Amino acid sequence: MTEQIQKLFKNLQKNKMQPLYAETKEDAVKLAKDMLFDGAVITWGGSMSVIECGIDKLLRDEKYCFMDRSRAGITPEEQQECFKAAIGADFFFCSTNAITEDGELLNVDGFANRISSIAFGPKKVVMIVGINKIVPDLKSAFLRVKKIAAPKNCVRLGIDNPCAKLGHCVSLLNNPDPDFADGCQKDTRICCDYLVSALQRQKDRITIILVNESLGY
């Protein structure tokens, strides 16, 4: 484990979040599996990091009650039900847009369904996080969203926002230090609501499985 990761883990513990280390994606699956129990009600945030580890396949095991917002053929109404079910779920799986060395998490949503579950509701939040998401501070975390996470997610989701073509937020064209509300004005904007998870009241409700590989955006 590098000095940077040791510092990160110490600060996550200080912020009452539980850090777990996985050397590989396969190790991450094992750690996730160990937390689950038969009949567990599980929802998730449709995360690429979860998919790249194959943890979504684990969650689909019939011994769990997986409310899959991303399943093929799901209707908008059924998807809304999945979002609502998250509030009483046993587990919510997702990643984070960035994690600071000081042990803070930054997450940014268009609809706030993911950040609402991170902040409140599910008994346990499990984040699958690649080492590529570690940044020095919150300013870098914000810029990571504007330069990496938002553009790549727009491309992945087929959303025609300016960052999908530019490779970074349009707000950065003339300003290296944009504000939260800067950027495109489109109805399809995906960075509308910002959540910083810092020192938690509920110890270890949030578990971060840090994988020593690059995952997601």
Contact residues: ligand SF4, CB under 6 A: 146, 150, 154, 161-163, 169-171, 183-184, 189-191
Which lies closer to ligand SF4 via its Cβ, residue 43 or residue 171? 171
Least Å distance, CB 195 to ligand SF4, is 15
CA dihedral 195, 205, 210, 118 (to 10 degrees): -30
Residues in the chain: 217
Least Å distance, CB 151 to ligand SF4, is 6
Which lies closer to ligand SF4 via its Cβ, residue 124 or residue 146? 146
Which lies closer to ligand SF4 via its Cβ, residue 3 or residue 187? 187
Nearest to 93 by CA among 157, 48, 63, 142: 48
Instruction: In whole angstroms, give the CA distance from residue 183 to residue 174.
Output: 11
Q: 163 near 169, Cβ under 8 Å? A: yes
Which lies closer to ligand SF4 via its Cβ, residue 147 or residue 205? 147
Residue 133 gets the label, from left (phi > 0), alpha (psi -120 to 50) or beta, of alpha
Least Å distance, CB 96 to ligand SF4, is 17
Least Å distance, CB 197 to ligand SF4, is 20
